[in-house]
């Protein structure tokens, strides 16, 4: 009898992480894999386009929870996902990453005595002002299987007293997805659509509350963008765009001569821009891994990271919103003195989904 596995997706980063996993489960005759979309990200450019580009199967269920406060989203997801579990009776639930959909689904499943597997377990920024940090810690406590993306994650789990027989160091599934689509990404040359040459421009993607939810922080960010003296593409998140309008800063950012605001990019297009840019300024976790894979200098607009391997072995540098530090790093990039990624980064993306799928299958036996 086939084991029914439900994978939960809700936000843009989740979709990329399940693409190789879906293919890995197909190889097992005794596994019936389905996905449930909570609808935490619901705009077409933040959701639908990723399913199409990544070749993902249509979700078995779409919960359509939409936006709201953290409590509202988490509560709505729990209410709706409980109905799904009672109806579908899954044998296991797979959650990925650290969004509200992740903790909500894990909590529902475990209260219904359904085993939970957490992909991207063990990551810690040690910054509890980030809601993702709370989600990560609680999901790891609840999960029966913990799939860890980098060595620091194993150390974190051990330090927290987690039963390490549950933990498996498998690598970074985001890098496996990138490898899957690398030929398409390389062919795309998205920068040409903006009249730019390769390695001539900066790419920006900033959306975290600490950087955009206060007028002072957003003004600091604009000041940083004013100091970059080569063409810059800002793939602007709906949250950031809303805050610019709310704080009356839209005119100032639109007046920057070297800056072009562009909408959130589909997966292939964004990674094409990341592959071709001179540097990226971002507060995203996944961009740190992807930039390091491409050997693209990545200035992380944060004081901490849950992905220390990309600071230690890759191209990421924590710069916060410190304009002086950013200026120093940019100058090193301009004269070709910025560091390169190590071989460790390439190894992190090898057969991650295969290891996860086999471990889950073995768990049932």
Hey, what are 274's tokens? 């990341």
* Closest to 37 in 3D by CA, of 26, 48, 29, 24: 48
Helix (H, G, I), strand (E, B) or coil at 338: coil
pLDDT by residue (tens digit) across 75-131?
999 999 999 999 999 999 999 999 999 999 999 999 999 999 999 999 999 999 999
Region label for 319, one of left (φ > 0), alpha (ψ between -120 and 50) or beta (otherwise): alpha
DSSP state for residue 4 in the 8-state scheme: E
pLDDT by residue (tens digit) across 58-70?
889 999 887 788 9
- Residue matched to tokens 């894990």: 106
Residues 6+ apart with CB under 8 A from 111: none
The Cα diameter of the chain in Å comes to 62
**Residue 16: band (very low, low, confident or very high) from pLDDT cuts 50, 70, 90:** confident
**Residue 14: band (very low, low, confident or very high) from pLDDT cuts 50, 70, 90:** confident
How confident is the prediction for the chain on average, in pLDDT? 94
Numbers of helices and strands, H then E, in the chain:
18, 13
Do the beta carbons of residue 61 and residue 54 sit within 8 Å?
no
207 as an active site residue: the answer is: yes
Domain ranges (residues) in the chain: 3-171+350-364, 182-347
pLDDT tops 70 at residue 34:
yes
pLDDT tops 60 at residue 42:
no
Mean pLDDT, residues 237-255 taken together:
93
How confident is the model at residue 78, as a pLDDT?
96
SS3 string, 37-54, reads ECCCCCCHHHCHHHHHHH
Hey, what are 31's tokens? 């596994």
pLDDT tops 60 at residue 189:
yes
More confident residue, 42 or 143: 143
**Residue 344: band (very low, low, confident or very high) from pLDDT cuts 50, 70, 90:** very high
List the CATH code of the domain at 3-171+350-364: 3.40.50.2000
Judge whether 3-171+350-364 and 182-347 match in fold.
yes
Do the beta carbons of residue 140 and residue 177 sit within 8 Å?
no
How confident is the model at residue 348, as a pLDDT?
96
pLDDT tops 90 at residue 178:
yes
**Residue 255: band (very low, low, confident or very high) from pLDDT cuts 50, 70, 90:** very high
pLDDT by residue (tens digit) across 271-317?
999 999 999 999 999 999 999 999 999 999 999 999 999 999 999 99
Q: Is 0.85 surpassed by the pTM of this model?
A: yes
CA distances 8 to 22, 33, 61, 131, Å, are: 12, 11, 10, 19
How confident is the model at residue 115, as a pLDDT?
98
The alpha carbon torsion through 156, 157, 161, 167 (nearest 10 deg) reads -160
Residues 6+ apart with CB under 8 A from 44: none
Among 11-25, 43-57, 95-109, 150-164, the least confident range: 43-57
Instruction: Please give the full DSSP string across 47-92, using - where no structure is assigned.
Output: THHHHHHHTPPPPSEE-------HHHHHHHHHHHHHHHHHHH--SE
How confident is the model at residue 45, as a pLDDT?
54
How confident is the model at residue 40, as a pLDDT?
63
pLDDT tops 80 at residue 46:
no
How confident is the model at residue 13, as a pLDDT?
79
> Is residue 287 within a helix (H) or strand (E), and if so which, with residue range?
helix 285-294
pLDDT by residue (tens digit) across 207-236?
999 999 999 999 999 999 999 999 999 999
Of the candidates 33, 207, 237, 307, the residue annotated as catalytic is 207
Residues 6+ apart with CB under 8 A from 251: none
pLDDT tops 60 at residue 44:
no
**Residue 53: band (very low, low, confident or very high) from pLDDT cuts 50, 70, 90:** confident
Q: What are phi and psi of 321, to 5 degrees?
A: -115, 30
pLDDT by residue (tens digit) across 132-173?
999 999 999 999 999 999 999 999 999 999 999 999 999 999
Buried residues in 141-158 as b, exposed as e (16+ CB within 10 A) = ebbbbbbbbbebbbebbe
Assigned CATH topology for domain 182-347: Rossmann fold (3.40.50)
How confident is the model at residue 142, as a pLDDT?
97
């Amino acid at each position: 009898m086939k084991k029914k596995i439900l994978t939960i997706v809700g936000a843009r980063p989740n979709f990329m992480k399940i693409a190789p996993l879906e293919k890995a489960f197909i190889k097992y005759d005794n596994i019936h894999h389905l996905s449930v979309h909570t609808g935490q990200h619901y705009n077409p450019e933040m959701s639908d386009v990723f399913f199409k580009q990544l070749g993902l199967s249509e979700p078995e269920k779409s919960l359509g929870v939409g936006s709201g406060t953290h409590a509202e989203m988490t509560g709505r997801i729990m209410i709706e996902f409980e109905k799904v579990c009672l109806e579908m009776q899954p044998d296991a639930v797979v959650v990925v990453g650290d969004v509200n959909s992740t903790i909500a689904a894990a909590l529902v499943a475990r209260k219904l005595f359904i085993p939970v597997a957490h992909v991207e377990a063990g990551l810690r920024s040690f910054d509890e002002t980030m809601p993702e940090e709370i989600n990560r810690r609680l999901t790891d406590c609840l999960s029966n299987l913990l799939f860890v993306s980098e060595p620091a994650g194993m150390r974190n789990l051990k330090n927290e007293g987690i039963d390490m027989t549950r933990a498996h160091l498998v690598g970074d599934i985001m890098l496996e997805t990138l490898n899957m689509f690398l030929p398409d990404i390389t062919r795309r040359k998205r920068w040409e659509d903006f009249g730019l040459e390769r390695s001539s421009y900066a790419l920006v993607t900033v959306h975290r509350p600490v950087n955009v939810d206060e007028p002072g922080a957003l003004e600091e960010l604009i000041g940083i963008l004013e100091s970059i003296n080569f063409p810059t593409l800002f793939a602007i998140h709906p949250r950031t765009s809303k805050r610019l309008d709310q704080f009356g800063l839209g005119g100032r950012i639109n007046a920057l001569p070297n800056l072009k605001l562009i909408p959130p990019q589909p997966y292939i297009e964004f990674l094409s821009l990341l592959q071709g840019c001179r540097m990226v300024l971002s507060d995203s976790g996944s961009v740190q891994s992807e930039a390091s894979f491409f050997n693209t200098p990545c200035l992380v607009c944060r004081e901490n990271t849950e992905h220390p391997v990309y600071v230690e072995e890759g191209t990421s540098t924590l710069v916060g919103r410190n304009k002086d530090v950013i200026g120093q790093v940019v100058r090193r990039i301009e004269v070709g003195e910025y560091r390169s990624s190590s071989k460790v980064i390439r190894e992190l993306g090898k057969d991650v989904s295969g290891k996860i799928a086999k471990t889950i299958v073995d768990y049932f036996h």
